[in-house]
A and B are shown apart, each in its own frame.
Chain A
């Protein structure tokens, strides 16, 4: 061994080796765990495809799911049917002593497609049990509504999932994901429309306009908001913001997608702010001087030079904000009204994918079709988050950087 070589690798201590290996093992373990979670989630959802599930019965139009908030049990006629999936849930129902909730109102708009603005949601946010008629009534509307499906051939699981009603518990569980998708998109969109401009403007202010002392306070303060427990934000929206907004707008629903969007934007703003602020601060100060020397004002400089120069970072900030709003669970459960309506109006309640998993996973029958569908939703959430991150990575790095930072 030539010892003279000044660049020769020095013999290392045992401790360095140990540290290196520890890091390697921990890193591969954590990567493995990520993959294991992924595999587990897929395995749980795969039971949907592999096992022969109970025939999913589904009337084509049913409004019940749209009118209540958290259907623990939906049981149109309380007499249990032999061989039905709901035998388990019926037991739960009996032990729960369901209160009868306003049986008459549901009859209104029974035949209308999804969104009927009956007063149910406004009266009660979280009915524990929704049970339109506790005793079987001959010739009731439910029976009439249920009649058509018997003429149909049994709908497949796919038809069920792509249907328009999410009402997973009951005799005829309906796993229509459209209301959830619409609710998710609706609230995410509102959250981003509120959160992204505010976050970016705050970042611009903090990066270029705020006096240094203010900036030193402002940045940690907003970052602190990012660490705010989302349940607290949710509770704040549920109590304060919802009442305030209802006083102002006189909206029919106290909790609606707008409140949820505002709540989510409170979670999104700090993320957008922090990342956008870092991106803006990273733009060379010389660029600002060059622009100012041409006789532009501070705002012109900020908008026309600094913001485009930081565009990749700002874009990434917004995408990460979208990811947060998309996956946020607690705020969505508490502030949106949590009713799976397929309506695009921001004034109606909404339920997001994450909120559905959050509120139903605790009560789902293990291994049931419902359980599988919830995991399917989880996979969908994952795929979208993954897609957003991939988009950030690929689009931002490939396109924007090329465009703004040299060919």
Chain B
């Protein structure tokens, strides 16, 4: 384990409860800055729940509670004085289903920027172009920026969502199975994008696709039944896992 890397997200004995049911059991993990960290595991193992607790999206569900610490940049995000809105501007999120707002492509990108301030039109134009270029979408949509974003293809929509998340300039990008609804070509584009983005952002990726985790991530965590079974460099996990369940899952013996 490369301990010299700066740690962006650090959890200590983090547990999560949906009212009575405990979904996460004492997760302890260090997520390194400017690295892609992938979480794999069978459905219902808690990896998405863990991802969504990083930016407190689980607050939207009634009757949830947490114990333990979820520390981002030295601050426990579940502290009382943490403003969840500010937190979420610093931790962007891309969802499994691409969900463009029913607005134009341009407005989709500028939405997050215009929430609290009014940048000039020229600034906005620059940011929109920059974000769309980052998301490798500019060439495809530059002629129809003011058309509805809903008319884009699935892969384009997902890249638009990434561009939208990048536009507010977060430090961390959480991706919840961003490619699960896409075809291989779109998936390839997004994976390329993830690799390009990691020099600027800390990326946490949840995926069902083990090849994807192997391709794009630097670190991989294996979740099972709400527990973090193993967490290590991706290469180590996929070549010589130290725990039997990980090996069984990776070799396709279950899951």
**Residues of A near any B CB (own CB < 8 A):** 212, 284, 286-297, 300, 304-305, 308-309, 403-407
Contacts and interface: CB of A to CB of B under 8 A. Distances in A.
Contacts of B161: 290
A294 B164 contact: yes
B168 A295 contact: yes
A292 B165 CA distance: 11
Contacts of A304: 111
A407 B151 CA distance: 5
Contact of B102 (A294, A295, A404): A404
A327 to B, nearest CB: 32
Interface string B145-166: 0011011000000000100110
B150 A405 contact: yes
19 contacts: A212-B62, A287-B99, A290-B101, A291-B101, A291-B111, A292-B57, A293-B92, A293-B165, A294-B112, A294-B115, A294-B164, A294-B168, A295-B86, A295-B89, A296-B85, A297-B115, A405-B102, A406-B102, A406-B150
Contact of B115 (A286, A288, A295, A406): A295
A403 to B, nearest CB: 7
A403 B90 CA distance: 31
Nearest to B150: A406
B89 A294 contact: yes
Contacts of B92: 293-294
| In the A-B complex, the 7 residue pairs with the closest CB atoms | A295-B89, A406-B150, A407-B151, A293-B93, A294-B112, A404-B102, A295-B88
Interface of B: 55, 57, 60, 62, 85-90, 92-93, 95, 97, 99, 101-103, 111-112, 115, 147-148, 150-151, 161, 164-165, 168
Given A288-B60, A293-B88, A294-B92, 19 more contacts: A286-B95, A286-B99, A289-B57, A289-B95, A289-B99, A290-B99, A291-B101, A291-B111, A294-B88, A294-B89, A294-B164, A296-B112, A297-B115, A309-B102, A403-B148, A404-B148, A405-B150, A407-B148, A407-B151
B184 to A, nearest CB: 24
Contacts of A309: 101-102
A355 B150 CA distance: 46
A289 B97 CA distance: 11
B115 A287 contact: no
Contacts of A300: 115
Contacts of B101: 287, 290-291, 305, 308-309
Contact of B147 (A288, A291, A407): A407
A287 B150 CA distance: 12
B57 A407 contact: no
A265 B103 CA distance: 32
A308 B103 contact: yes
Contacts of B95: 286, 289-290, 293
A10 to B, nearest CB: 39
Contacts of A297: 85, 115
A300 B89 CA distance: 14
A164 to B, nearest CB: 47
Contacts of B165: 293-294
A329 B86 CA distance: 52
Nearest to B170: A295
Contacts of A289: 57, 60, 95, 99
Contacts of B112: 294-296
A407 B150 contact: yes
B72 to A, nearest CB: 14
B151 A406 contact: yes
Nearest to A402: B148
A214 to B, nearest CB: 13
B150 A292 contact: no
Contacts of A287: 99, 101-102
B159 to A, nearest CB: 14
Nearest to B97: A286
Contacts of B97: 286
A294 B88 CA distance: 6
Nearest to A401: B102
A58 B99 CA distance: 66
B143 to A, nearest CB: 14
Contacts of B168: 294-295
B10 to A, nearest CB: 22
B64 to A, nearest CB: 14
Contacts of A284: 99
